Structures are given as C-alpha cells and as structure tokens.
Amino acid sequence: MSLKEEKESIRKSIYDKLFKEGQSLRPNGDYGKIPNFKGSDIAAELLVSTDEWKNSKTIFCSPDSAQIPVRYLALKENKNLIMASPNLEHGYLYLEGCKLNGKEREASTKEGSFNNCSKFFDFGEGSSFDIAIDIVVEGSVGADRYGNRIGKGKGYGDREIEDLLNKGLIDNDTPLVTT
C-alpha cells in the first residue's frame, strides 16, 4: 500500500467512525472535509487554557468549521487573527479582535471574516510583513501523539504552514496545534 493509499484508508476509517458514532455535526458526515465534530468547543477551551495561548497576541487559524470556537475565542480575547481564505482563493485575512466591537461571533465564521477583516494579503513575491504569529491552529482529520497530522488530502494546511515559514511569520519553535 502506498503512503497516499494508507492516508486515505486512515481518513476513511476516521470519517466512518465519526459518522457511525454520531460525532459529526454534519448530517451526512465529514467525508472529504476537516471534521466538524461534537466537542470542538471543548477542544478550543482546552487550547485557551494553555500558557502558549495565554501568552499569545497573534493566532493563525485554518478556516475549517471545527475551528470556529478557536477563532471566536481569539477575537473575544482581542487577539489578532490571521486566517486562510477557503482554498486560499483570496489569500489570507487579518482580523483585529480589538476593532470588532461585539462582532466577534460573526467574524469567526468564514462568511463573517470577509466582512470584518482589517485587510487581505497574500505571500506573493516582494511582500513583507511585520507580524509574528504566536500559535498556528490547523484543522485535521486525525493526529497522533507525536504531532503528525492528516488533513483532508488537498494540501492546503501544508501550504499555509509553508507560506508562514517562508515569510518568517513562524519558525520551528512556533507551537502548531490541531483542535
């Protein structure tokens, strides 16, 4: 079995288990997506209880539905949030929690983030940024206790991390978590 086939087998097993056990928040399951699961809010609460979160000012978070609670809590705590647009179609969005004035919940959704972001940017040639990201939060289909993760298989999470590394917004010591 190739690595690609092995990863796909793991994904299918996880999707099947979430669906059969009623843990998916989507009526037809999460097949082909980052799972939006029961308890994603609890995962977010566990994350915000860490010292890494408490000491952070700027969070990068994937646009997946399961990460809405993470994005909401970041904005509610007046943290800055960088979020990839879905499929990286519009680059990245920058939201400043301190400027949302009660719109944190709306801004934490994919649709609402577009209406409330301070700016859009991409990581094209010649672009530079004076931003340091303190934590990276990626959605995953699965992860092991050693920090290896499997996404939905499209490579967006890997590309996001590569973009952040290449522009110096993160380094090898930046915590990368999945919720």
Which residues in 114-151 are b (16+ Cβ under 10 Å) and which e? eebbeeebebeeeeeeebebbbbbbbbbbeeeeeebbb
Spatial distance between the Cα atoms of 11 and 112, rounded to a whole number of angstroms: 29
Q: Taking residues 42-59, what's their average pLDDT?
A: 97
Helices and strands, number each (H, E), in the chain: 7, 8
Q: Taking residues 114-130, what's their average pLDDT?
A: 72
Give yes or no for residue 123 having a pLDDT over 70: no
**Structure confidence at residue 146 (pLDDT):** 86
Give the count of beta carbons closer than 10 Å to the beta carbon of residue 25: 15
Give yes or no for residue 126 having a pLDDT over 90: no
Q: What is the pTM of this model?
A: 0.91
pLDDT tens digits, one per residue of 62-89? 999 999 999 999 999 999 999 998 888 8
**Structure confidence at residue 119 (pLDDT):** 80
**Structure confidence at residue 129 (pLDDT):** 67
| CA angle centred on 170, ends 6 and 14, rounded to 5° | 25
Give yes or no for residue 110 having a pLDDT over 70: yes
pLDDT tens digits, one per residue of 52-67? 999 999 999 999 999 9
Nearest to 117 by CA among 132, 135, 104: 104
Q: CB–CB of 56/134 below 8 Å?
A: yes
Spatial distance between the Cα atoms of 4 and 6, rounded to a whole number of angstroms: 5
Parallel/antiparallel/unpaired status of strands 80-84 and 142-143: unpaired
Give yes or no for residue 44 having a pLDDT over 90: yes
Domains in the chain and their CATH numbers? Answer: 39-178 (3.40.50.10420)
For the chain, the distance separating the N- and C-terminal CA atoms, rounded to the nearest angstrom, is 29
